Structure 1
Amino acid sequence: MAPYESDDNTNDDLRTGRSKAARYVVPVAVVGLAAATIGLVPAFAGSGDPDLPKVTAQQLIEKIAASDVQQLSGTVKISTDLGLPDLGGLESSLGGLGGGDESGSSAEPSSKLMELASGTHTVRVAADGEGRQKLSLLDKASEYSVIHNGDEVWAYDSASNEAYHTKDTSSGSAEKGERGEKGKSEDMPATPKELADEALKAADDTTSVTVDGTMRVAGRDAYKLLIEPKQSGSTVGAITVAVDEKTGLPLKFTLTPASGGAAVVDAGFTQVNFAKPAASTFDFSPPKGTKVTEGDELKSGDKADRARPEGSEDLGKEFEGLNVIGEGWSSIAQFDTGGGEGLPSEGSGAGDAGRFLDSLGDQVTGKFGSGTVFSTRLVNALITDDGKVYAGAVTKDALVKAANEAK
């Protein structure tokens, strides 16, 4: 099928559908508690692709927008391959924040769910409207769960027998009036639906959107929506979203890099049921002997100060001069750290620290001077020796070109 931009519908129609889709977020993940850039590895049932009625890309986008699934339960596999280097014991030697020490709780969700950003995991999810969600991260010998039930949010780590408890104030009239949509925009995508919404936000004149056949995911018939950058220089190769033929719910999300190989993010259900979960699914009481940490305790000034790295109060100032170069998939964020110096290197006399940083990055030179490019399979960053940073889902050559043109 021809790219979306060649259809009779206009890009204004696409943006309208995209905007509408963004308002229908399936409440699988606990409100405000989600992992960064996770993927769910799909399981396929049956053989061969299903024979479904033909649809256009615009119709499929509208189908996603019209989807209003409020009740479901299922199992997902989570696998993410960003190509990050193995730091070994470096993290522990630097001193972790939270993780059950005196400055936090091992059950606190914002740090615990970050485990989903790498490796492979099994997760159970359940939802019953906007007020009830449960997410359970299963390990071989333990389970970590986050439960949202009305205005109560509990997180429990069976490995450490610790629990974290807080109130969900996102629906409170006073705070909601102050936050508006800001709170929602700061949440990380954690389901195929949320990931698809984020991808559709980029579907402008720099993007090709097509329907690429059909498939089966978790035993259900689905259409494949293919999203591809039209610009050169992006590290994103393509995004495929499997859309349930019956409900319009995205069942699978796959992001493949332009460099080829395994997907960076692969999101899909291995099993899904749209029946109403039992009310008891969202009940929780801490087991006897559980160490319970209240959310307000972690917000107290003394513990917050202990958890804050030295000098972190100045981090926000470094981003005040943030500038975006280019547009669409090839956009690059540029800012100045303000110190006039880049990272320590072996040649600068920084010793072991410099040699370690040099081993993680590639040294580059150009009209801008010299610097180091740190790469993953999706996002690259250039830090120049005079303290400027260029970062984006673009190639190393694109970063060097941007730095040269900025001089």
Structure 2
Amino acid sequence: MAPNDSVETNGGTRGTAVGRRKAARYIVPVAVAGVAAATIGLVPALASTGDPDLPKITAQQLIEKIAASDAQQFSGTVKISTDLGIPSLGGLAGSFAQGGGSGKGDSGADPQEKMTELTSGTHTLRVAADGPDKQRVSILDSAAEYSLIRNGDQVWAYDSGSNEAYHATEDGSGKKAGHPAPESVPTTPKALAEQVLKAAGPTTSVTVDGTARVAGRDAYKLVVKPRQSGSTIGSFTVAVDAKNGVPLKFTLLASSGGKAVVDAGFTKVDFGKPAASSFTFTPPKGTKVTEADDAKAQRKTDGDKGPGMFPGAEGLGAGGLGAGAEGGKDTKVIGEGWNAIAEIRTPGGTGLPSKASGDVPAEAQQFLDALGDKVSGKFGSGTVFKTRLVNALMTDDGKVYVGAVTPDALVKAANDAA
């Protein structure tokens, strides 16, 4: 029998397309900001071959095993499938991430655009790592491949479909021009598990719930659940390699039930040293290459800053929401644990533009109306945008209340703050 040791720890038309793109500039920061960091994951095509019989282990011991894992070399094949309950935005979400436009500084290989596509649908990936300075993530489809590669301080992204490349040199902190290196993108179960375990605290229950076989390897199942009611998060399950402590599978369930919001895991994995060629890249002949510095300067010249991420929204990942987000100067956190709500003041202190104001095309307004519900209270009026994981209330006076909580909890928070 598999061990079942439970230990709780404190732990159609051009006009329509343009309208949808403009609408995406308004909805993406509400519906996707904080969802991407929390839900970009990998889905296994896993066939169960029977639960392995492994020695019993406590939740604390399993967490320590994850923390002590020193496996820095691996390669494998994974899939990503995310069901947030929102329409697929595709490149619209990416256009927001770049500042919302098709200006001269934009590149079809920009990592922020391509990696944001992982927030919906199903994708196949190849991943590889050789220590902290060499990583590669490739997104595969039937006609093209997109790769994000880091080798030392050099970061390359290449889209074979458009034959475009994006190049950045890191500044020593792992960042350049606001664009991610591969290791900063949570595209492995380990990265996702670390976010969740960082959030564990007094409002969290952590247990061991049996064993599993993942990508041909024996694993323990660690289950993390909020102990509070009112959260949209039902549970996280992490399958941990019994031998080396590496998370192999990650599944996120919503408290409302239904299929997994994120179901993440390797389909094939090898913990040997990857080939050095995995981390080298030379742009093919005829490739359009965009330098990060040039793109940034061009966007500044064009004045194409776009709406930008809501201040403090970068703190709304799994760790931020679960452990009490540390927002920016325009962000205040209400509540604690998994029920934490971030109150964010939007740039300029204004709410969503309306059709009546002439700022939003009819097609864009229709798109927004389809995603949001009008609400009112002591705070005045506003619109609630809903996903299966993160909900957000944007008031007409320019405040946003966002969290992995129910819409009713957001309205209550806004009323209490009025």
TM-score bracket, normalised by the shorter chain, equals: 0.7 to 0.9
Aligned to 1:159: 161
Aligned to 2:284: 287
Structure 1 or 2, whichever has the larger Rg, is 1
The question of 1:130 aligning with 2:129 is answered no
Aligned to 2:104: 102
Contact 1:166 1:295 in 2 (8 A): yes
Match of 2:223 among 217, 221, 226: 226
Q: Which amino acid aligns with 1:329?
A: W
**203-212 vs 381-390, which deviates more?**
381-390
Aligned to 2:345: 336
Match of 1:324 among 329, 333, 348: 333
**284-293 vs 259-268, which deviates more?**
284-293
Instruction: State the TM-score, normalized to the length of structure 1.
Output: 0.81
Q: Say if 1:289 and 1:236 are closer, same or farther in 2 by CA, change over 3 A.
A: same
Match of 2:302 among 292, 303, 306: 306
Aligned to 2:144: 142
**Deviation of 1:395 (Å):** 0.2
- Higher-RCO chain (CA-CA 8 Å, sequence separation at least 6): 2
Report % sequence identity: 65
Contact 1:98 1:106 in 2 (8 A): no
Instruction: State the TM-score, normalized to the length of structure 2.
Output: 0.79
**Deviation of 1:365 (Å):** 2.5
**Deviation of 1:92 (Å):** 11
The question of 1:4 aligning with 2:7 is answered yes
Contact 1:235 1:259 in 2 (8 A): yes
**Deviation of 1:340 (Å):** 6.2
Correspondence 1:7-406 to 2 at 5 A: 11=10, 36=37, 37-86=39-88, 102-170=104-172, 187-300=184-297, 302-306=298-302, 308-309=304-305, 316=311, 320-337=329-346, 342-344=351-353, 352=362, 354-406=365-417
Contact 1:235 1:378 in 2 (8 A): yes
**369-378 vs 275-284, which deviates more?**
275-284
**Aligned-pair RMSD on alpha carbons?**
3.3
Q: Say if 1:122 and 1:87 are closer, same or farther in 2 by CA, change over 3 A.
A: closer
The gaps in structure 2 that reach 5 residues or longer are 12-35, 314-327
Alpha-carbon deviations, 1:171-191, whole Å to 9, x = none?
69xx99xxxxxx99x944231
**Deviation of 1:312 (Å):** 5.4
Q: Match of 1:41, SS?
A: coil
**Deviation of 1:113 (Å):** 1.7
Q: Match of 1:50, SS?
A: coil
Aligned residues: 370
Q: Say if 1:386 and 1:169 are closer, same or farther in 2 by CA, change over 3 A.
A: closer
Q: Say if 1:133 and 1:335 are closer, same or farther in 2 by CA, change over 3 A.
A: closer
The separation in 2 between residues aligned to 1:279 and 1:76, in whole angstroms, is 20
Q: Say if 1:49 and 1:288 are closer, same or farther in 2 by CA, change over 3 A.
A: same
